[in-house]
Amino acid sequence: MKKFIVLLCFCLLILPIQSGCSFSLNSAVKSNMSEIRKNVFEAENEKFKVSFMSGQRENPYYYDGVSEKKCDFGIFTVYFKEFVGALKVPFIATINDQKYEGVLEKNPFNESYMVDIERSVSDEDSIMIQIDNNSAISLSNISSSWNISWQDALDIGIKELNEELKSVYIKAVFNGECYLKPITDDNFISGEYFWAFILVNTRFERFTVVFDVNSGEVLVKNKTV
C-alpha cells in the first residue's frame, strides 16, 4: 500500500512537468509561425479563375529558419484561360465596403497574376474583384466547408512533426520557423486543397506534412535539404 501511494505521488508530480513541456513547445511553435493562411476564397467565369487567401506572415519573408515580425496579408491569384501578353493587369477589389485598386503582376514562376493587398479577412467577409474591363465577380469562401479549420490543422501539424519540432527546441529556444498553408495544384484546376504544415530549421532543412482538409489523413511526410 505504501509503495502504491509513493508511486501515485510520483505520477501526480511528473504529469504537470510533462504537460508543461508540451505546452511550452506548442507556445514556441505558435510564436514562430512565419506564415498562417487562414482561409481560401474562389470564383471563376469564362475568362479566368481567381483565388484569395489571407492571414499573417513574416516580413521580410524568407525560408531561413528565423521567424521575423508578422504582418497581415491578402493575396489575389488569377489564372487567365487565354494568353495575356501584359506583365501587369489592372484590378479593383472590394472587401465589404472598402475598395482596393491597383495592378496584378505576372508571377515569374508560372502563368498566374498576383497582388497582395496587405489585409487579412474573416470568413464572413464579402469579397468582389473586377479584373481589367471584365465584369466584377464575387468570391465564395470554400475553406469554411472544410472539416478541419486552420486552428485544427495547426494542432495536427504540431502532432505529426512533434519529434522534429522537439529537436529544434533547445533550452527554451526555438531554432526554426513554421508555416501553415492550404495548397493545391499549380494552376488550381483540380479544385482540391490540402493542409501543409512545414518546419524550417536554421540549417535550412525543411520538414513537411501534408494532410486532407476533411479527414486529416496524412498524405505526405518528408524532409528536404
What's the predicted TM-score (pTM) here? 0.87
Query: What are residue 20's phi and psi, to 5 degrees?
Result: -65, -40
- Asked if residue 10 belongs to a domain, the reply is no
What length does the chain have? 225
Residue 23: predicted pLDDT = 56
Distance CA 225, CA 219 (A): 20
Question: How many domains, the chain?
Answer: 2
- Asked if residue 29 belongs to a domain, the reply is no
- Asked if residue 19 belongs to a domain, the reply is no
Domain holding 195, by residue range, is: 145-224
133 with 168, same domain? no
Domain end point (choices 142, 177, 205): 142
- Assign residue 151 the CATH number of its domain: 3.10.450
Distance CA 34, CA 70 (A): 7
50 with 130, same domain? yes
- Asked if residue 27 belongs to a domain, the reply is no
79 with 132, same domain? yes
99 with 158, same domain? no
- Asked if residue 56 belongs to a domain, the reply is yes
90 with 105, same domain? yes
- Asked if residue 24 belongs to a domain, the reply is no
8 Å CB contact between 48 and 89: no
Distance CA 84, CA 207 (A): 37
134 with 168, same domain? no
Domain end point (choices 89, 113, 142): 142
198 with 163, same domain? yes
Domain end point (choices 115, 142, 169): 142
Question: How distant, in Å, are the alpha carbons of 25, 37, 77, 93 from that of 143?
Answer: 28, 11, 16, 20
Residue 142: predicted pLDDT = 96
- Asked if residue 65 belongs to a domain, the reply is yes
- Sign of the Cα pseudo-torsion (164, 168, 172, 174, in order): negative
Question: How distant, in Å, are the alpha carbons of 4, 7, 8, 13 from that of 1?
Answer: 5, 10, 11, 18
- Assign residue 116 the CATH number of its domain: 2.60.40
65 with 78, same domain? yes
pLDDT values of the chain reduced to their tens digit, one per residue, 225 residues: 444 333 333 333 333 334 345 559 999 999 999 999 999 999 999 999 999 999 999 999 999 999 999 999 999 999 999 999 899 999 999 999 999 999 999 999 888 999 999 999 999 999 999 999 899 999 999 999 999 999 999 999 999 999 999 999 999 999 999 999 999 987 666 689 999 999 999 999 999 999 999 999 999 999 998
Q: What amino acid is encoded at 118 in this protein?
A: E
Q: For residue 160, how far is the Cα from the chain centroid? A: 16
198 with 171, same domain? yes
